[in-house]
Structure 1
Amino acid sequence: MTLNATPMKHAEGTQGVNSEVLVELKLYAAGYCRHPEFLTLRGGSFKPVPFPAGFACIRHPLQGCILFDTGYSARFFEETKRFPAALYRMITPVTFDSQDSAMNQLLKDGIPAEEIRYVVLSHFHADHTAGLRDFPHARLLYKQEAYSTVNKLGTFASVRAGYLPGLLPDDFENRSLLVEETPRLQLPNDFPFEAGYDLFGDGSIIAVDVPGHAAGQIGLLLTTAEGAYFLCADAVWSSIAYRERRKPHAVARIIMDDPRSYDDSFERLCRLHEHYPHIRIIPSHCLEPLQMGIGEGKT
């Protein structure tokens, strides 16, 4: 991962970034929901617009295929048949076909489920975890805070937090790897984010904290032959938000885990766009990268 001429360093002080390790990236969406645009973008339309449930497939030269989230799956509808989880589906109307699942789209691209070595979870909202059971051989990477915050909630509180525990595999904890246990990196002094986690110890994929929308939420910094990307999860819902510094409507703050942390992550993203324009920021629910084919390549 190359950000500028200043090398990144492990927190212990040793240089630990190999800029020669490039990955391949392809973006997908597994279903979508609709909400009025103004909720996620101040000054936006009252008209409902689609928000794709984005996920990414990253091919690492040594680690193989890695997913960033999974989008929706048929299991989401099974888990939201009964009250109180049915409220989730009522508030968030989802459009999904079985062929939209991460598993089926990847298989169409020649990647069977058993070839997925890792799934990195940005956070535990259902539109990011619904396909986990389709990848029984994958190790699961996430921040402990992201899981512990929702795992302790009762039934109604879980629904309010967008968390459906039935979406997680029965052996979830046995397959888990904590992001916090990977090498921590200090990022360049002028970079908007101070530190990250070197997930595979080679500088190829760096997890960065973007809390606020959800506790323990992370994004991924990576570099392909086409350039550098920051998969920012739900730190913003659209590209226009960080380009024009347009935060969500105040109503949207009700569902945020920590509105102040959200504001901080939002400001850092805006600065990243301004000072590092070569790094392409990919929000998980933005149509623009999908329509433009950003990030498409061999996987």
Structure 2
Amino acid sequence: MSLDLVPMRVGFCRAPALASRRDAGLMPMEFPAGAALIRHPDQGDILFDTGYGVAFWQSTRCFPEMLYRATTPAVLPVTEELCSQIDVPPALVILSHLHADHVAGLFDLPVMAPVLTSRAAWVAMAKGGPIATLRRGCPELLRRRLLKLSPRFIEDSATVPTPAGFGALAGPFYDIMGDGSLLAVPLPGHGDGQFGVFIPASRDFLIADAAWSRAALRDNMPPPWLVLAQLGDADEYMHTFNALRTIMAARPDVRMWPSHCTEAFG
């Protein structure tokens, strides 16, 4: 089965380069909000993550959510809006995790598509008040809009054997489309319930924020420990990061897609 992957940049934010790799400086740089359209010949277009959208600015107008906007200023050019890049509404939207820069664009779609995410991410997002949810990367108003949805969960899909060369990941691998075309696997460490999607036919691996860039993986340069601890579990992040490096060595034919990588998403 042949599947095509169309990478998209849905806005970007500015942050110190040091946030992405520990050998970088404090000069600000642009980090794209990557999304990908997977063209499935039988099941329609599938959207992996949604980048920025109007809901991000709506949900960060007031304190304390405005701190999110202030610390990582975001920009969404008209040409990068999700609806400017998609001709037909997707048949399914996959949300790798529930941070605002991965989910806000969902609410710009003219027709709300079915959503697939992880139960672990959903349960964690549903807990707590405005401060707790902001610390999890999802402003309160955006969280409330998400909670009105009725998503499917990857954990309800059948599991399949680990693909060759992917044994460094703890798994399990979930057959989320029921035909072996898209395999979801947990990528713990950054955010609650984060997972990636491997496309066996094209050998593309969408890894969300499990690494900041392809170069960081090649150079063995994760973000500073303090950044990792603020965003999630630093120990789990490093385990996942090292597992991805092991996969790169074992499967040089696999192409990694970190969501904020300028090499991948421009």
Query: Which of the five TM-score ranges fits, normalised by the shorter chain?
Result: over 0.9
Counterpart of 2:15 in structure 1 is 35
> Among 38, 45, 65, which residue is 1:65 paired with?
45
Task: Work out the CA distance in 1 between the residues paired with 2:10 and 2:194.
Answer: 20
Structure 1 residue 174 displacement after superposition: 4.8
Counterpart of 1:276 in structure 2 is 251
How do 1:207-226 residues align onto structure 2 when only pairs under 5 Å count?
A: 207-224=184-201
Structure 1 residue 129 displacement after superposition: 0.4
Larger radius of gyration: 1
- Structure 1, residues 259-282: CA drift from partner, whole Å, max 9, x if none? 111111111101011110100001
Percent of pairs with identical residues? 36
Shift of the 157–209 alpha-carbon distance from structure 1 to 2, 3 Å rule, reads: same
Structure 1 residue 290 displacement after superposition: 2.9
Shift of the 130–274 alpha-carbon distance from structure 1 to 2, 3 Å rule, reads: same
**Structure 1 range deviating more: 254-263 or 268-277:** 254-263
AA in 2 matched with 1:119: V
| Structure 1 contact 129–168 (Cα < 8 Å) conserved | no
AA in 1 matched with 2:85: Q
Task: Work out the CA distance in 1 between the residues paired with 2:24 and 2:160.
Answer: 37
Counterpart of 2:71 in structure 1 is 91
Moved segments of 4+, more than 6 Å: none
Task: Work out the CA distance in 1 between the residues paired with 2:206 and 2:102.
Answer: 13
Is 1:143 aligned to 2:123, yes or no?
Answer: no
How do 1:1-299 residues align onto structure 2 when only pairs under 5 Å count?
A: 21-106=1-86, 111-112=87-88, 115-135=89-109, 136-167=111-142, 170=145, 174-188=149-163, 190-191=165-166, 192-193=168-169, 194-224=171-201, 227-291=202-266
The number of residues matched between the two structures is 263
Task: Work out the CA distance in 1 between the residues paired with 2:235 and 2:62.
Answer: 34
- Structure 1, residues 151-206: CA drift from partner, whole Å, max 9, x if none? 21210121122112433685855541111111111204752224311011111111
| Structure 1 contact 151–165 (Cα < 8 Å) conserved | no
| Structure 1 contact 66–119 (Cα < 8 Å) conserved | yes
Choose between structure 1 and 2 for higher RCO, CA contacts under 8 A separated by at least 6 residues. 1
Task: Work out the CA distance in 2 between the residues paired with 1:171 and 1:255.
Answer: 23
**Structure 1 range deviating more: 61-70 or 151-160:** 151-160
Please tell me the root mean square deviation across aligned C-alpha atoms, in Å: 1.8
| Structure 1 contact 132–168 (Cα < 8 Å) conserved | no
| Structure 1 contact 69–122 (Cα < 8 Å) conserved | yes
AA in 2 matched with 1:26: V
List runs of 5+ in structure 1 lacking aligned partners.
Answer: 1-20, 292-299
List runs of 5+ in structure 2 lacking aligned partners.
Answer: none
Task: Work out the CA distance in 1 between the residues paired with 2:147 and 2:106.
Answer: 9
Structure 1 residue 241 displacement after superposition: 1.1
| Structure 1 contact 27–56 (Cα < 8 Å) conserved | yes
Structure 1 residue 39 displacement after superposition: 2.0
3-state SS in 1 of match to 2:185: strand
